Structures are given as structure tokens and as C-alpha cells.
Amino acid sequence: MDEALMPEDEVNTDVLKVTGDERMRQNPLNPGPSSVGGQLPSGYVDPATGEVYRDFVIREMRGREEKVLAGNGMFVTQMIQVIINCLESLGPIVDKQRLAEAVNQLPLSDIEAMTLTLRRLSLGDDLWLEPTCPIEDCGVMVREKVNLGDLEMKPIADPMQHHVTSVLRSGREVKWHVMRAMDAKWIASLPKKELKAERFNIMLLGRIESVDGQPLNRLSNGLKRSIEQLDDWLSYGDRREFDEIINAYEGDMDKIVIFDCKACGHEWSLLLPVMHKHFFSLSGI
Ligand SMILES: [Zn+2]
């Protein structure tokens, strides 16, 4: 039986209590005993209708998904596969093939949001972080509990538009799209050495389609040339400005955790590593 069609009284409230999210309990799709519903910060734009789908239902990970995460390779690629396996519906879409296509098109911020949902569903809302105070003479371990249900999502600026044209102050016209799951998979597939040396250009290539009407080719035979073109075409100021544009436009999750060392009074912050293997077994970073 399709878990999404289970009657309300068969919903396992123990699982839902773990999520601590009232909205999930009230999901009209009546999620099954090990499924929850949620809402994506950005959503999927159906190319056939132009509609944006943000409501989703996802089931808990099973042994098969655990094996995917235990394998070698980049976490983001594994997680996208896990989401494809576990996603039961996205808006009105329930067909597995269509769901897989939609997941690959989803903004990375939505992949993060579903990763967070799966983490909460499997292991609950409480996450203990135990960083060491970075002050050299201190080094005391600080313990801080994060409630994953409290993380705030920032939606995409315009959910209908994943493709954007921005004219920079320099007059450069940049055509780009929000970072999607398929772009993240492409980045994860590049050689580590290349990724390290050209991190910023590769992050740009994950999004930018053309500069002043000149297309960029990110296939392996054109990658080196595209990186050279980006180095030539975009000044330091252009890059800073573009970075601000994408931060303001794309959906995001507030992952900043602030720590306060009781021993020396130092205050500092860390970004919660949501797209990281340890996020599913994390007790300290
Ligand atoms: Zn300290």
C-alpha cells in the first residue's frame, strides 16, 4: 500500500513527535508511519505547467540508503540518490521517474532542506556540538545543543525563476541559474585537485551560463578554457558583486551556530555541516 495514502489514525505519532513539527502532523497527504511532509524553501518548477511545487513527502531511510551513504564518493551525490529513493511525492508528482528528474533540477538549498528532514526523521531533532575553544591558551571543550527543528529557511527570491540575468555595475551581463542538484553532482565529480585550485571559478561555473552573451562550456574538454575565460571576463569586483547577488537570490538555511566559551568568554561561530556524512552520526565537530 502506498504509504502516502495511509489513513490518519494509522500514522505513527512517535515518529512525528521526533520531528516536533506541527506542520508535518497536519500534512493533508496523510503521510505513512515512517514518512513526513515538509515544504521546500525554493521548490520545483514544473516545465509543463510553470507551477511551483514545494510540498513534499519523504520516507525514512532504510538499509539500502544506509549503504549508499556508507559507500565511497562525495556525500552530496550520495544524498541526492538517497533523496530520490526516499521521496514519495513532490506537489502532485508521485511517479518515481518524474520524481528523480525533479530532484536533479531542485536547487541545492532544497536538497539541504530534505537532508535535514531525513536527519530529523532518523535521529531526532537534538544535535550536540562539542567544539574546542579556538583561543590558543584556552582550548576548553564547549558543549552546545542545537534543535534542528529551529533552523530557519530562507526562500528563493522568486520561486518561478531559477534562471536569472544580472547586469553587474561594470556593465557585464551574466546569465545564470541557481545551483541545482545536478550542478552539485557535476562539481562533486571533478578531480579533487582541480576543485581545490579553482574552487571559486568552479562554483561560478556551476551557475553561470554566459557572460555578455558568450556561453561557457563546462564539459571536461572545455573546462580549462572556461576557467581562463572567467578569469579574463570577471574582475575581482564583478566576482564579489556576483557572490552578493547569488547570496541574496538563492534559498538558504541559517546554519550559523554561535558558541560561547564559559572559561575565557570568547564567542565564535561555526556553520552546521548539513551536507556532510557526519551529520547523520554527529555528536561533535
Ligand atoms: Zn575559551
Per the model's pLDDT, the better-predicted residue between 125 and 264 turns out to be 264
Q: What is the mean pLDDT of residues 100-115?
A: 96
Ligand 1 centre and the CA of 130: distance in Å? 13
Give the chain's length: 285
Q: What is the mean pLDDT of residues 253-273?
A: 91
Ligand 1 centre and the CA of 285: distance in Å? 16
Ligand 1 centre and the CA of 151: distance in Å? 26
Ligand 1 centre and the CA of 145: distance in Å? 18
Ligand 1 centre and the CA of 261: distance in Å? 5
Of residues 202, 37, 212, 200, the one with CA closest to residue 120: 37
Q: Write the pLDDT tens digit of every residue in 182-199.
A: 999 999 998 888 888 898
Q: Write the pLDDT tens digit of every residue in 149-185.
A: 999 999 999 999 999 999 999 999 999 999 999 999 9
Ligand 1 centre and the CA of 211: distance in Å? 47
Ligand 1 centre and the CA of 132: distance in Å? 8
Per the model's pLDDT, the better-predicted residue between 234 and 130 turns out to be 234
Ligand 1 centre and the CA of 260: distance in Å? 8
Ligand 1 centre and the CA of 268: distance in Å? 10
How far is it, in rounded angstroms, from Cα 162 to Cα 120?
Answer: 28
The β-bridge partners of 268 are 259
Beta-carbon contacts of 121 under 8 Å, excluding residues fewer than 6 positions away, are 15, 18, 19, 34, 36, 58, 60, 61
pLDDT band with cut points at 50, 70 and 90 for residue 276: confident
Q: Write the pLDDT tens digit of every residue in 116-136.
A: 999 988 888 888 888 889 998
Tell how far CA 263 is from the center of its chain: 35
Beta-carbon contacts of 246 under 8 Å, excluding residues fewer than 6 positions away, are 176, 178, 179, 207
Alpha helices in the chain (DSSP H): 13-19, 22-25, 63-70, 75-86, 96-105, 108-123, 181-189, 192-197, 199-205, 223-233, 236-249
16 has pLDDT over 70: no
pLDDT of residue 2: 28
Q: Give the whole-number percent of the chain exceeding pLDDT 70.
A: 87
Q: Write the pLDDT tens digit of every residue in 50-79.
A: 999 999 999 999 999 989 988 888 889 999
Ligand 1 centre and the CA of 136: distance in Å? 8
Q: Which helix (H) or strand (E) holds 36?
A: strand 35-45
Ligand 1 centre and the CA of 48: distance in Å? 56
The DSSP letter of residue 40 is: E
User: Would you state the cell numbers that stand for residue 78, as one nine-digit string?
Assistant: 550520495
Contact 98, 107 (CB under 8 A): no
Contact 171, 152 (CB under 8 A): no
Ligand 1 centre and the CA of 120: distance in Å? 30
Beta-carbon contacts of 259 under 8 Å, excluding residues fewer than 6 positions away, are 129, 131, 133, 142, 144, 267, 268, 269, 270
CA dihedral over 74, 91, 123, 86, signed as positive or negative:
negative
pLDDT of residue 281: 66
Instruction: State whether residue 66 is helix, strand or coil.
Output: helix
Ligand 1 centre and the CA of 265: distance in Å? 6
Ligand 1 centre and the CA of 127: distance in Å? 21
